Structure 1
Amino acid sequence: MSIVYQEVQNTQYSILDTQYPKMRIVFFASGKFAIPILRELLSCGHDIVCVVSQPDKKAGRRLKMRATPVKDYCLENNLALFQPSGLNGSSAFNYLKALDADLFIVVQYGIIMPERIISLPKIFSINIHASLLPKYRGAAPINWAIINGEKETGISIIKMDEFVDTGEIILKKSLPISENDDAQTLSVALSELAKKMIIEAIVLIQNKMFKLTPQEDVLASYAPKLSKKNGLIRWDRPKEDIYNLIRGLLPWPVAYTYFKGRVFKIYKAAHKGIKDNFNSQFDQLPGQIVFIDSGEICVRCFDGLIAIKELQCEGGRRMPVRDFIAGHDIKKGDMLG
């Protein structure tokens, strides 16, 4: 087996040329974040003996049954698929045991795995988590990193234990968060980083060259599952907090306010400071519209303005502000919230 490493900035090793045997892998995933990672494993010749994904669920206004993005990918590519309603029963345990896997790889699966499932593979189970653990343990690390104004995040690959996101770290690499990132663009960038890291991690595991580093629990923070109530904008907050909330809650649940008693979702915005020529306008209340032009609705907040650029009014479609203004009675001095 031939492995060549090169030292690079912020990374201990980068694999340049690797030859290794196939691993028998069971891949647990549900969200589209996992698809580039699954595709990379397949392209490197690993034997994905089964993909485990959440069951179809009712979703949308009409509550139609909807498959996970990973299930759709499996059907398109003729991959073996298993969708248990849970992992605590004997049927799921016996099915997964019979697969005789070397590794379980878990990426945005969305169901907590019991210890007896985690311990089934010949080697162990690993989780790919979209944060620099121990920061942002939990279900929504990408969103909360942006909401909290972090300047960097990253990918952690850990050996799983019986708790959530607490396992020993195999690999960890950082990625900057730009001012223009939202949760969708950052998710794409982190998935691209993760697909490279998982191949490196597997080679290290195969060659017993990995080091397991315990997490420092005293540094832990948490990224709980999002709900619609997280999206309510408080206009008395600083402009950067509101801007981070808007970009951190895409594509769901989306930041929102109220306009004339109706929900007013905000998809794109910018923040602006207080300029000398705006002084008279800043006597207005937080949530009050300061001015409107063809491309934005500017709203007073604690220390500046939020310029709304794309929105959706309850019962309507998502649209640029220019289109909204043309069809709605909205004016300077109106209140949001």
Structure 2
Amino acid sequence: MKLIIATQTSLALPLIQDLYARQQLAAVWLYDVTGEDSRQLAAQCAMLGIGVQVMDPEKPEALLQHQSVQQADAIVSCYLSFLFPPAMVQALQGKLLNIHASDLPQWRGADPLFWQIGEGAESGCLTLHQIAEQADTGDILYQQMFNIHPYDTHQSLNISLSQYMPLFIGQWLSAGGMDCKPQPQRKFQSEDKPAPRPDINSTGINWQQQGSLDIFHLTRACNPQLGGAAFSFNQDVLYLLEATPVEHPRYGLAAGTIVHIGEPEGLLVACHDGVLRLDIIYLAAGIFSGLRFAERYQLQVGQSFDSYPITKREKLDGRNNSQYNELCR
């Protein structure tokens, strides 16, 4: 059996190398060739002598012709944001597959790992399914559970799954590969959750609504590709890359209020259900430990951080502006 791997990132390289070594790789379809990661993957493929076909959304017929020439049994999409046009889905019906990191139909969407980490999930599921005209709705061919470490970030989990992918596809091939009987997904239920691409509302900290564990998991989900979970101080945006719930008195302070600054505890902030240590904070001026940030900008116990998005005036992005006058006083 010969497979084409369709991707846009070097996270797919372990799978590509494994199939190549087993002489089961027909070619690689590469999307977004202007990106640095895509260029690095193309260079790796060139070193191995693996044929690469650039995916042009305006020329699906070129991909169909390439699949026919390569006589590939299936195209497996992984780590790919490209949505195949309906004409391709119909022409390659049953041969166009995708690896999705959730137990479909739960967490359908562009970023299932973000939402699972953000909810504190301890495990997930890789699903190999046929691509249908509606995203993430095709029949299921194979599934395997995976563990989520309590300290996994979005990127560390992606890397772990990247390294597990060869075994996952190898097990599917051993189970019959394309001869595996497709199973229709169960009907989508009201309790099933979507997994859209995170936006400003899903990556911001709401001190009044989120507890210490909620914020802990959100920082993991936002680290590093989203720059951290956003919150604000004096209308300026800060990004929390790491935080830890700790045992410490709240003193009855409102959520978002600083309850302690100093060694060895660090920068501690009240939540409605406990206390959170702000471990690593990112802003335009650099990356600081919570304690060094508090000392550098002379924060005081009793001061409060604000939720994000900012609603009082025009939103500011700390990664793209230098308006930190209030902090620097």
TM-score scaled by length of structure 1: 0.80
For the 8 Å contact 1:27–1:51, the answer to whether it is kept is yes
Residue 264 of structure 1 pairs with residue 242 of structure 2: no
For the 8 Å contact 1:128–1:157, the answer to whether it is kept is yes
Give the residue type in structure 2 aligned to 1:217. K
Which of 167, 183, 187 in structure 2 is aligned with 1:217? 187
Question: For residue 138 of structure 1, what is the aligned residue in structure 2?
Answer: 109
Change over 3 Å in CA distance of 1:259–1:282 after alignment to 2: same
Q: State the alpha-carbon separation in 2 of the partners of residues 206 and 183 from structure 1.
A: 29
- Structure with the higher fraction of residues in strand conformation: 1
Aligned residues, how many?
298
Question: For residue 110 of structure 1, what is the aligned residue in structure 2?
Answer: 81
Query: 5+ unaligned residues in a row in structure 2: which ranges?
Result: 307-329
Q: State the alpha-carbon separation in 1 of the partners of residues 205 and 238 from structure 2.
A: 10
For the 8 Å contact 2:253–2:259, the answer to whether it is kept is yes
Give the Å deviation of 1:125: 1.7
Matches within 5 A, 1:67-146: 67=36, 69-78=37-46, 79-86=50-57, 89-120=60-91, 124-146=95-117
Question: For residue 211 of structure 2, what is the aligned residue in structure 1?
Answer: 238
Give the Å deviation of 1:93: 4.4
Can you list the C-alpha shifts for 1:102-145, whole angstroms capped at 9, x where unaligned? 21010021011123323555961221111122211111001100
Q: State the alpha-carbon separation in 2 of the partners of residues 89 and 25 from structure 1.
A: 18
Q: State the alpha-carbon separation in 2 of the partners of residues 41 and 101 from structure 1.
A: 13
For the 8 Å contact 2:27–2:70, the answer to whether it is kept is yes
Q: State the alpha-carbon separation in 1 of the partners of residues 51 and 126 from structure 2.
A: 27
Give the Å deviation of 1:297: 1.3
Give the Å deviation of 1:326: 4.7
Q: Indicate the SS of the match to 2:240.
A: strand
Q: State the alpha-carbon separation in 2 of the partners of residues 42 and 87 from structure 1.
A: 29
Q: State the alpha-carbon separation in 2 of the partners of residues 267 and 106 from structure 1.
A: 30
Q: State the alpha-carbon separation in 2 of the partners of residues 97 and 242 from structure 1.
A: 49
Change over 3 Å in CA distance of 1:34–1:119 after alignment to 2: farther
Q: Indicate the SS of the match to 2:28.
A: strand
Give the Å deviation of 1:73: 1.6
Q: Report which stretch shifted further, 211-220 or 236-245.
A: 211-220
Q: State the alpha-carbon separation in 2 of the partners of residues 268 and 234 from structure 1.
A: 16
Can you list the C-alpha shifts for 1:27-46, whole angstroms capped at 9, x where unaligned? 11113432322222222222
Over aligned residue pairs, what C-alpha RMSD do you find? 2.4
Residue 298 of structure 1 pairs with residue 298 of structure 2: no
Q: Indicate the SS of the match to 1:282.
A: coil
Give the residue type in structure 1 aligned to 2:167. K
Q: State the alpha-carbon separation in 1 of the partners of residues 168 and 121 from structure 2.
A: 22
TM-score scaled by length of structure 2: 0.81
Change over 3 Å in CA distance of 1:43–1:120 after alignment to 2: farther
Question: For residue 5 of structure 1, what is the aligned residue in structure 2?
Answer: none
Q: State the alpha-carbon separation in 2 of the partners of residues 235 and 136 from structure 1.
A: 25
Question: For residue 329 of structure 1, what is the aligned residue in structure 2?
Answer: 298
Matches within 5 A, 1:1-337: 23-56=1-34, 66-67=35-36, 69-78=37-46, 79-86=50-57, 89-120=60-91, 124-206=95-177, 208=179, 210-219=180-189, 220-236=192-208, 237-253=210-226, 254-273=228-247, 278=249, 281-294=250-263, 296-313=266-283, 315-337=284-306
Q: State the alpha-carbon separation in 1 of the partners of residues 59 and 108 from structure 2.
A: 23
